[in-house]
Structure 1
Amino acid sequence: MEPSSANTGFIQQQPIIKNQFHEDVSLQRIANLYLPPSLLENVSPEISRLGDAVLTQQIFDWITDSERNTPYLRGSGRDAFGRPKQELIVTEGWRKLQEFGFANGVVAINYDTPSSGPYSRLIQFIRCHLWEASCANTLCPAAMQDGAARLLQRHLTTPKLAGKLSETEKRVFQNAYDHLTSRDPAYTWTSGQWMTERTGGSDVSQTETVAVYDPFPSDLAEVPLASKEENIPLGPWSISGFKWFSSATDSQMTILLAKTRPGMGVSAFFAPMRRWNPALVSSTGAGAGGTELNGITISRLKNKFGTVGLPTAELELKNMRGWLIGKEGEGIKEISTILNITRVHTTVSSMGYLGRGIGVAKAYALVREAGVGKGRRLPLYKHPLHMRTLADLTAEYHGLMLLTFYTLYILGLDEHRSPSSPSSQSQSTTSSSPGTPQHPLTPPPSLVSPLLRTLSSLHKSFICHSCVPLTFGCMESLGGLGYLVNSESEHLNLSRIFRDACVGAIWEGTTDVLAGDTVRALKHPTIKKEGVGALGWLVQAGLAGLEGSGKEEEEKEEEEGERIRKVWEGLKKKLKTKKQEELLPEARGLTHRLAEVLIAVLWVVDARVRPGREVEGMKKRWMAKHGFGPGSGGDGEEEEVKVEGDGLELDLAIVYGEGGPKGVVEGGGSVPGVSKL
């Protein structure tokens, strides 16, 4: 026997991660379920190209750079003589990843492709799903960029709102909108979304930032400008206060909340991050003028558990100049437009991390062997226990994908019901569509808004919370390798992905905050009837046709439908009979059970539209685990379930698709035709 050394003996073959647009079975099902065939055929080549591009070595090198060289304030915010000089430095990797996102239209695609109609959100977020785990969190400021673009778009294109804007406000808002929706990295802006203060996270009622209407005197020789090149004036409102979290400190603008007078709620403002100062002197002594922060002092940068390349800061505002958006005191109404978008971005981020984690786990199982006793070794993809674990992970992932993309579908329908939609089409839900609605659960127009209002909090509360242990499960499937910070093999770095995935359940509203918000929405005097009614329609429509057939298999489906209805009826009764304050302590459990009911309905529809052994197997296992299986009584207890053909072959079909992994070579685990990263 020869002893091993650092460079001899067994060295594990590297896993190969393949294009997830083709390899991710769940993502393929989602694309086929929601997008009309002609549209899917049209967009698939570009999405496939992106799926390859996000896995290149250059991308992973930029990720490593953004993780190692974290943001900092040059001179800790002062020059050599102690004068304040706010200069935030971000790494080249961060900038390059952000530019990649801009050039690939991760935000712009929703605004510059009107031919996609209400499907533009689905196409956008299929692309974001592929990009999330490779973007090093540059999609965080992009999410706020997206939300700000939608908010400004509403005010510019909705006649009732646009009619209240002055010509100067229209020019200022249009200029910002054009920057936000550009694909030119040299021109594109991101945006901040400043709500959080020391008095509370998502609770903005105690906001201590104050805005005072203080227009510049009309006899000024030169109007103060935000941008000299574009001749954009600064706003008439002076804003001062302290913002506790700013996760887009390198952005070019922000939407923020402030109070304007006692007894009135918070108001929303648009403000540029920088302003023109003609008196600025350069380091060479030339007095040519230049830009400086718009009344902003970066107090300090946050030191975080994850998302370390993302510059998050505490900001002090003194006479920051901005523009009022909408009416005074209606800031929550205005900012909710942004929150609807940033929350789905956060959910897709969590799902993108989980999807990549499963992709890495699948690739690792093809090349790694494990002992099974008496000197026998098996590739992990032939190990019954390992594959059952991955199959269970995949089933949970697909259930979450169903709810995520249904929410995105409803968001797209909602945005395309009015002239303020990206395509500026008619009031019809489908008038700008390239085809008839693909999904069987397309609601009537009257239910779109109340359904979105409920889903906007519910989906994030449940999905982001659920993704954390599932992403850890992917990391665990690699054993000790998964726990390492594999920056030298960044495509395998699941410890980074896990750390970053944890934030999804925290920012844009924690699990409990959004669960409470869901309950408030369903108990609100003016919307509770519509919200509960919309959920009832979804359950009824999804389970329609599951009764009265008489055939054995269809009788089982009928029983499954009855178990789902039973749970829904119990939840509906609780919502109708209990007061809001009685429901609040159990809001998390109630909201998450509602989410499970909706996912169960979506499972039924998915299996009906695109039947197959693997989807039926996943569905039955998921139903049993979440209390909808035979004998469960809808009480949430997991029951053992037997699936026809249950075993390794079915698990392989669930994880790798029908037929199991393709092109596996015994002993080497390589997959021909796929280049190693």
Structure 2
Amino acid sequence: MSHSTHEVFNQPQPLAGYNLFTGNRALQDALKFNAPRLDAAPLERLGALLGTPEMQSHARLANVFTPQLRSHDRFGHRVDEVEFHPSYHALMSAAVGAGLHGTPWAEATPSPHVMRAAGFMLFTELEPSILCPISMTYAVTPSLRANPAIYADWAPKLTSRGYDPRLARWSDKPGATMGMGMTEKQGGSDVRANTTRAESDGSDAWGKRFRITGHKWFFSAPMCDAFLVLAQAPGGLSCFFLPRVLPDGSLNAIRIQRLKDKLGNKANASSEVEFDQATAWLVGEEGRGVPQILEMGTMTRLDCALGTSALMRQALSIALDHTAQREAFGKKLIEQPLMRNVLADLALESEAATALAMRLARAFDRRDEPHEAAMARLLTPIAKFWICKRGSHFVQEAMECLGGNGYVEEGGQGVMARIYREMPLNSIWEGAGNIMALDLLRALRKGDSAAAFAHELAPAKGAHPALDRMAVALPQRVEEMATEIEGRRLAQDVALSVQAALLYQTAPSAVFSAFCESRLGGTWGHAFGTLPAGTDFDAIIERAMPR
């Protein structure tokens, strides 16, 4: 007769089999505010798909079985290919099928950028790292218009919802993805220090052709079908279109040196490459590479803010679901007063991040309107800086809600460890904190920024004294700022003010009041879980529950 040594009890079930969209009230209300005519049915379907155990399994497998570089075949020929687990391709197929890459540039639907932003956030909750080529395709597609011939050939493939992982000619595939190659080992964010050179090689149907020789220090998603890269042409630093497979079907001279061993972002292949007389075509004018890169950076920075907001939401959802099941000291964790303070504080941060990121997406839909164009310039560095800066601290606190189980990689709760390793990435990629603060200062010196901010904050005027005080003080602080030394503090305060004004318009009064009292009114400590006793914890936590 056998006897079990122990019985497993009081261990929560993983958060699975739920709809990521219908359980996210903050995202739903942000959509109603920023895109009232938008049909949310596709997001409901996507939210249901992404919450399934099957898709969660794909996310786990794509991170456990990481990409592998195959530089040569068994006969010694260079192939420069990266092999992925089948789950990676399943995830890519789902992301492309949901239109998270280039479709906003082709589909004449209401608020396509807001729709795509919401879908991007939902997918990030499932698995963020495969979205790197998705984000880059979104960012570079409009830049190709500077070469009409290439745009005419490639745009239909880049906006197609068909995914094909083969290394083949663009014309032989139902859809394509693109990447970017900007930074070099000696320059990093200072792309003007690039040494990769471009030598003229005549012209053809795609325009001026060049031979590219040099290297790129960070070259993510090297299996994309083509890349926009920076190189020094005779006329200065310029932007070039560089396909993996040339029009004649031969492989281009892109030599993958190694894959980066990163802290997180494991399912995505990030590489170092060298170009050995690789063939490329000029996009735009010679010497105008930096402005083109800045325009692409604006798009990817939106995705950094969206991605971190989504990871916050995922970490919060797991923490809420876990504490609603787990008992300690005679009652559920979620019923314990200190835990309630932590969970409510995290919920405030998550909703404020969602509100700001989705507001920025709205600006992309309406950039032909002067105010929205101004907000796109101003909110991009603000959202990228502040939301991404909050991410790592946020997920550490959410992980603590799970105790030791949150620190373990395996199983359903192992998702929290994966989020934690992913969180610093969006703060670093596409311009770290100091770059964002400098971008904000540059944007503030263009046009009437004070008037644009005043217009943005006006709907919440008189709603809370702490917000009113901040709104009055900000223009003077901008005017009196003689150096960049306080740029980060300014970015923080502008972000908090805009978040508060948005929450006044999209969230219940309990959320707005608690956010202002804590973030702007000074009734907050230096850690999550320090909200004042008068906070409506019940209303805030109930609103944030994932199911």
CA deviation vs aligned residue, 1:246-274 (integer Å, no higher than 9, x gap): 1121100111111113xx54211112122
Whether contact under 8 Å (1:620, 1:641) holds in the other structure is no
By how many angstroms is 1:103 displaced? 1.5
Alignment match, 1:453: 377
Pairing 1:585–2:507 present: no
Alignment match, 2:226: 253
Alignment match, 1:399: 352
Alignment match, 2:451: 533
Whether contact under 8 Å (2:181, 2:229) holds in the other structure is yes
Alignment of 1:159-170 (within 5 A): 170=148
Residues of 2 paired with 1:45 and 1:543: CA distance? Answer: 31
Alignment match, 2:539: 653
Alignment of 1:282-301 (within 5 A): 291-292=250-251, 294-301=252-259
By how many angstroms is 1:177 displaced? 1.1
Residues of 2 paired with 1:340 and 1:466: CA distance? Answer: 20
Residues of 1 paired with 2:47 and 2:419: CA distance? Answer: 18
Pairing 1:146–2:32 present: no
Whether contact under 8 Å (2:383, 2:495) holds in the other structure is yes
Alignment match, 1:620: 513
Alignment match, 1:478: 402
CA deviation vs aligned residue, 1:168-218 (integer Å, no higher than 9, x gap): x533222211111000123221111111111222211101111122216xx
Alignment match, 1:504: 426
Give, as a single letter, the amino acid of the residue that structure 2 aligns with 1:47: L
- 1:450–1:16 distance in 2 versus 1, CA, 3 Å: closer
By how many angstroms is 1:403 displaced? 1.3
Give, as a single letter, the amino acid of the residue that structure 2 aligns with 1:501: M
Give the alignment partner of residue 602 of structure 1, picking from 484, 498, 502: 502
Residues of 2 paired with 1:565 and 1:483: CA distance? Answer: 41
- 1:150–1:599 distance in 2 versus 1, CA, 3 Å: same
- 1:318–1:48 distance in 2 versus 1, CA, 3 Å: same
Give, as a single letter, the amino acid of the residue that structure 1 aligns with 2:305: T
Alignment match, 1:173: 151
Residues of 1 paired with 2:481 and 2:102: CA distance? Answer: 44
Alignment match, 2:245: 274
Residues of 1 paired with 2:360 and 2:489: CA distance? Answer: 20
For structure 2, list consecutive stretches of 5 or more residues without a partner in the other structure: 165-173
Pairing 1:182–2:160 present: yes
By how many angstroms is 1:640 displaced? 7.0
- 1:197–1:400 distance in 2 versus 1, CA, 3 Å: same
- 1:639–1:502 distance in 2 versus 1, CA, 3 Å: closer
Classify the secondary structure of the residue corresponding to 2:54.
helix
CA deviation vs aligned residue, 1:136-155 (integer Å, no higher than 9, x gap): 51211101101111222x44
Alignment match, 1:389: 342
Whether contact under 8 Å (2:158, 2:176) holds in the other structure is yes
Alignment match, 2:52: 56
Residues of 1 paired with 2:464 and 2:60: CA distance? Answer: 52
Classify the secondary structure of the residue corresponding to 2:161.
coil
CA deviation vs aligned residue, 1:411-436 (integer Å, no higher than 9, x gap): 1111xx2xxxxxxxxxxxxxxxxxxx
Residues of 2 paired with 1:53 and 1:639: CA distance? Answer: 36
By how many angstroms is 1:379 displaced? 1.1
- 1:60–1:578 distance in 2 versus 1, CA, 3 Å: closer
Residues of 2 paired with 1:20 and 1:9: CA distance? Answer: 28
Alignment match, 2:214: 241
Whether contact under 8 Å (2:140, 2:178) holds in the other structure is yes
Classify the secondary structure of the residue corresponding to 1:598.
helix
Pairing 1:122–2:114 present: yes
Whether contact under 8 Å (2:149, 2:207) holds in the other structure is no
Classify the secondary structure of the residue corresponding to 1:274.
coil
Give the alignment partner of residue 321 of structure 2, picking from 359, 363, 367: 363
Whether contact under 8 Å (1:141, 1:192) holds in the other structure is yes
Give, as a single letter, the amino acid of the residue that structure 2 aligns with 1:250: M
Report how many residues are paired.
Answer: 532
Whether contact under 8 Å (1:350, 1:501) holds in the other structure is yes
Alignment match, 2:127: 135
Alignment match, 2:167: none
Whether contact under 8 Å (1:205, 1:266) holds in the other structure is yes
By how many angstroms is 1:21 displaced? 1.3
Residues of 2 paired with 1:305 and 1:346: CA distance? Answer: 17
Residues of 2 paired with 1:400 and 1:188: CA distance? Answer: 33
- 1:52–1:639 distance in 2 versus 1, CA, 3 Å: closer
By how many angstroms is 1:642 displaced? 5.8
Whether contact under 8 Å (2:149, 2:206) holds in the other structure is no
Residues of 1 paired with 2:57 and 2:377: CA distance? Answer: 40
Give, as a single letter, the amino acid of the residue that structure 2 aligns with 1:622: F
Greater Cα radius of gyration, structure 1 or 2: 1
Alignment match, 1:464: 388
Residues of 1 paired with 2:255 and 2:148: CA distance? Answer: 28
- 1:559–1:514 distance in 2 versus 1, CA, 3 Å: closer
Alignment match, 1:85: 79
Give, as a single letter, the amino acid of the residue that structure 2 aligns with 1:347: A
Alignment of 1:192-207 (within 5 A): 192-207=179-194
Residues of 2 paired with 1:520 and 1:586: CA distance? Answer: 14
By how many angstroms is 1:67 displaced? 1.4
Classify the secondary structure of the residue corresponding to 2:116.
helix
CA deviation vs aligned residue, 1:492-551 (integer Å, no higher than 9, x gap): 51101111122011101111211122113323xxx2x43333223323x2344x3xxxxx
Residues of 2 paired with 1:199 and 1:518: CA distance? Answer: 25
Residues of 1 paired with 2:464 and 2:343: CA distance? Answer: 29
Give, as a single letter, the amino acid of the residue that structure 2 aligns with 1:193: M
Classify the secondary structure of the residue corresponding to 2:87.
helix
TM-score of the pair, normalised by structure 1: 0.74
- 1:625–1:11 distance in 2 versus 1, CA, 3 Å: closer
- State the Cα RMSD in Å: 2.6
Residues of 2 paired with 1:72 and 1:140: CA distance? Answer: 17
Query: Identity of paired residues, percent?
Result: 25
By how many angstroms is 1:661 displaced? 6.6
By how many angstroms is 1:109 displaced? 4.0
Give, as a single letter, the amino acid of the residue that structure 1 aligns with 2:161: R
Classify the secondary structure of the residue corresponding to 1:449.
helix
Residues of 2 paired with 1:91 and 1:28: CA distance? Answer: 34
Give, as a single letter, the amino acid of the residue that structure 2 aligns with 1:70: T
Residues of 2 paired with 1:146 and 1:653: CA distance? Answer: 37
Whether contact under 8 Å (1:652, 1:661) holds in the other structure is no
Residues of 2 paired with 1:151 and 1:602: CA distance? Answer: 31
Give the alignment partner of residue 72 of structure 1, picking from 57, 63, 68: 68
Whether contact under 8 Å (1:411, 1:452) holds in the other structure is yes
Residues of 1 paired with 2:293 and 2:253: CA distance? Answer: 22
Alignment match, 1:374: none
CA deviation vs aligned residue, 1:447-505 (integer Å, no higher than 9, x gap): 3222211222121011111122112222221111110102x33x651101111122011
Which runs of 4 or more aligned residues in structure 1 lie more than 4 Å from their structure 2 counterparts after TM superposition? 232-235, 638-642
Alignment of 1:425-436 (within 5 A): none
Whether contact under 8 Å (1:413, 1:448) holds in the other structure is yes
Alignment match, 1:30: 30
- 1:213–1:532 distance in 2 versus 1, CA, 3 Å: farther
By how many angstroms is 1:113 displaced? 3.1
Classify the secondary structure of the residue corresponding to 1:597.
helix
By how many angstroms is 1:629 displaced? 5.6
TM-score of the pair, normalised by structure 2: 0.91
Give, as a single letter, the amino acid of the residue that structure 2 aligns with 1:617: A
Classify the secondary structure of the residue corresponding to 1:585.
coil
- 1:558–1:135 distance in 2 versus 1, CA, 3 Å: closer
Residues of 1 paired with 2:9 and 2:4: CA distance? Answer: 8
